[in-house]
Structure 1
Amino acid sequence: MPHTEEIIEQALHHIGTGYVFPEKAERIGIAIRRRRADGAYDGLDGPALCAAVTADLQEVCPDKHMRLLWSAEPLSLEPEDQDAGRAAFLALLRSENQGVRRVETLDDGVAVVRITYIPGTDEGAPAMGAAMQLAAGSTALVLDLRSCRGGMPEGAAMWCSYFFPDDQTHLNDIHDGPTGTTRQYWTAGHLPAPRYLDRPVYILTSALTFSGGEDVAYTLQAHGRATLVGETTRGGAHPTVRHTLTEHIQVTVPIARTVNTVTGGNWEGVGVTPDLPAPADQALETALKALATRTASAASASSAS
């Protein structure tokens, strides 16, 4: 394995040239080099080095997407293989049914869709559409994102699109730091299953919900289209790239930032706060109780009129 100093300098180079907030990159470099000079990383093996540098990176700059990652399996150092991480993630999505792990209709007609990843739209749209087709006749919908660990922004926009009537809702923007460009995300005009309108939507969250899962939760909450139930999420809002430093170490660099069109901000470092706080293992029960109360109130109001 290359010398620790070489690994750290390579990581800081990628952070310095790619981080979405260049003014913070300089401060990060100063702090990490100071820690190295103080001997904080002396004698650490690969996994321990990654853990220590990551902790220091996030202490200086609390961006949970900025990390050194250790891979037990050897990584390719060939330039043409630098997209291997994306290929591996696509393979993971295929093995996880594009993140749609379970669709269930409860006895009271409420549909529950469990999502573990947010896929891209090219391969993920059919699975998302199949889930929403199964949920189309339900009285209310629960999206279970408690185990959702990330995904792709275009897939998050497609999931959100099911809960709006057309393609006229501007969801959020992603500003790319290195290029200075901005990509807008709007609701989709055409979907492979019926839209889910005029019925309650609840989203379950946990302290493990991250990145793409947080995108769906935050966006639907901000636009008033869903009620969030559970725990505050992990707080990772910045799209990243991975750079391979050695056969076992990569650095992940956040190169962009998400800006919601309603709030003007995002969930980076703070997480998404639920409307109805509850322990993660009680979130579904809490959501169903809230839904029952909501249904009873609506029935009472209807009979009174």
Structure 2
Amino acid sequence: MRGLIFMALAAATPAALLAQATGPSTASSDVMPEPFDQSVADEAVSVLATKLEDNFVFPETGKAYAAMLRTNLAAGKYSDFPDAKTFAEAVTADLQAIQKDGHLKVHVVPPEARAGPEGESQAATSGPVGPQQSTNTISKSGWIAEGVAYIRFEAFFGTEATMAALRSFIDEHRGAKSLIIDIRTHRGGGLDEMDLLFPQLFDAPTGLVMMDTRASVAEAAGDAPLEASLHRVDAPAGIVRHEHRVVPAENGAFQQSAIYLLTAKRSASAAEHLALALKRTGRATLIGETTRGAGNYGSMEPLDAGFNFAAFIPFGRTFDPDTGEGWEGVGIEPNIPVSADQALGEALRLSGVGEPAEAALSAMK
């Protein structure tokens, strides 16, 4: 299962739901805004309150969100807006005023994504804004200098094209002196790419991070398959906990390589999962900026029968087992703090490359 947004809650698993809540693509400025319909808005707020109360990662916060929404609804606060987008933004602002969460947001679903040929919401099955399997989210890769491999990810959506490209990259750059992984523009996703890459980086079985899922969500998922890299461990009541582990590949491609991970303020969600796993195990040097701080994973959920609105509902968190702390709201600090645009140059310098970053990228094979 992959971390695509708009995944049905009943099919949710921790590995599948690290998606960054980018939501439906923003309409261009020349497109007429969606009209506001109070009856649909009232339904959306009511459904959102229930979903947050039942499934938000922190039960008490979920109750606080729900109480606020129901109070505002009863007071008529959500009865009149110039358009649907303004309504969604107002509800989101009210939620963030209770407690900030880097994923929690209400979205307007584009009309073309609302219903399939049978009138059924596409989002419940395939996801209206999910990437096509032909989409490759590796935007650049190759030899950036002699013995130095470079790969830049825009997301971890686990598409067939991305996984095939990553396998080819591993095969073609085996034994690199240094590997530079660039997640400066990474917008989230799932575990598929990580689970393909990690065995090539580690030379011993290693526990990476912990993932806690609200028990109500895990129970709703039923027998939905989990990735083999997730191992259930003991947890407090109301929580289902998994350890994300790596088992090394035999003669892994980069087990002897120096690893550099480039980060930026916009690196979020699954990118931060990667950053924490590599930092806490000491397997990579993080170079760049503190990441965004979107640490609670979840799924995009429809809020009304016509699927006019959806919200990303965070129902789990990933955290460092050594400290018990995640990165929600604070991000992950790099080992070497520099501006994002200087991060590649610093990684090249540490790799023994004197060439400027821009020149190295343009000449990359």
Q: Which of 282, 296, 299 is the aligned partner of 1:241?
A: 299
Is 1:82 the equivalent of 2:82?
no
- Structure 2 equivalent of residue 272 of structure 1: 332
3-state SS of 1:114 partner? strand
Deviation, 1:59, is 2.5
Q: Is the 8 A contact 1:41 1:49 kept in 2?
A: no
Corresponding position of 1:299: none
Name the one with the larger helix percent. 1
Equivalence for 1:296 = none
CA separation in 2, counterparts of 1:75 and 1:190? 43
Look up the match of 2:41: 4
1:204-255 deviation digits (Å, cap 9, x = unpaired): 1111111111111111011101111112111112221221124331011111
Find 2:178's aligned residue among 126, 140, 152: 140
Q: What is the distance in 2 between the residues matched to 1:107 and 1:172?
A: 32
Measured in 1, the distance between the counterparts of 2:58 and 2:96 equals 14
Q: Which amino acid aligns with 2:150?
A: V
In the alignment, does 2:200 pair up with 1:175? no
Could you list the runs of 5+ residues in structure 1 that have no partner in the other structure?
294-305
Contact (CA 8 Å) 1:75, 1:244: kept in 2 or not? no
Q: Name the structure 2 match of 1:54.
A: 92
In structure 2, give the amino acid aligned to 1:139.
K
Q: Please state whether the residue corresponding to 2:290 is helix, strand or coil.
A: coil
Q: What's the CA shift string for 1:263-297, capped at 9, x where partnerless?
A: 4322111111112222222221122224439xxxx
Superposed, 1:1-305 pairs within 5 Å as 1=37, 2-36=39-73, 37=75, 39=77, 42-72=80-110, 73-76=112-115, 78=120, 82-85=124-127, 88-91=129-132, 94-97=133-136, 99-120=137-158, 125-166=163-204, 168-177=205-214, 178=216, 179=218, 180-190=239-249, 194-246=252-304, 247-292=307-352
SS at match of 1:183: strand
Q: For 1:68-122, what per-residue CA distance to the aligned partner results, in whole angstroms no more than 9, with x for missing partners? A: 112223423737851332x75252xx3432x222212123432110111114498
Structure 2: gaps spanning 5 or more residues: 1-36, 219-238, 354-365
Q: Which residue of 1 aligns with 2:25?
A: none
Counterpart AA for 2:274:
V
TM-score under structure 1 normalisation?
A: 0.83
Displacement of 1:189 after TM fit? Answer: 4.6
**2:279 is aligned with what amino acid?**
Q
Cα distance in 2 between the residues matched to 1:198 and 1:262: 25
| Structure 1 contact 164–195 (Cα < 8 Å) conserved | no
CA contact (8 A) 2:107 2:310 kept: yes
Summarize the Cα distance change of 1:170–1:154 in structure 2 as closer, same or farther, 3 Å threshold: farther
In structure 2, do the counterparts of structure 1 residues 136 and 34 end up closer, same or farther at CA, with 3 Å as the change threshold? same
Give yes or no for contact 2:176–2:254 (8 Å, CA) kept in 1: no
Contact 2:298 2:315 in 1 (8 A): yes
Q: Distance in 1 between matches of 2:193 and 2:242?
A: 14
RMSD: 2.7
How far apart, in 2, do the equivalents of 1:95 and 1:102 lie? 16
Amino acid across the alignment from 1:200: A
Distance 1:60 1:160, change over 3 A: farther
Query: Following the alignment from structure 1 to structure 2, what is the Cα–Cα distance between the partners of residues 187 and 124?
Result: 20
Displacement of 1:57 after TM fit?
1.4
Partner of 2:6: none
* Overall identity of the aligned pairs, in %: 27
Q: Give, in angstroms, the shift of residue 34 of structure 1.
A: 4.4
Q: CA contact under 8 A between 2:113 and 2:123: conserved in structure 1?
A: no
